[in-house]
Amino acid sequence: MKKVECIIKPFKLEDVKNALIEMGIPGMTVGEVRGFGRQKGHTELYRGAEYQIDFIPKIRLEVVVEDGQVPEVVAAIQKEACTGRIGDGKIFVTPVDQSIRIRTGEQGADSL
Domain boundaries, the chain: 2-111
2-111 topology per CATH = Alpha-Beta Plaits (3.30.70)
The enclosing H or E element of 15 equals helix 13-22
Q: Read off the pLDDT of residues 55-101 as tens digits, 9 standing for 90 and up.
A: 889 999 999 999 999 999 999 999 999 999 888 999 999 999 999 99
Q: Read off the pLDDT of residues 43-53 as tens digits, 9 standing for 90 and up.
A: 767 777 777 77
The enclosing H or E element of 94 equals strand 89-95
pLDDT of 42 reads 66
CA 3 to CA 95: how far, in whole Å?
6
Residues 6+ apart with CB under 8 A from 41: 52, 53, 54, 55, 56
Q: Which residue has the higher pLDDT, 7 or 36?
A: 7
pLDDT of 25 reads 93
pLDDT of 93 reads 98
23, pLDDT greater than 70: yes
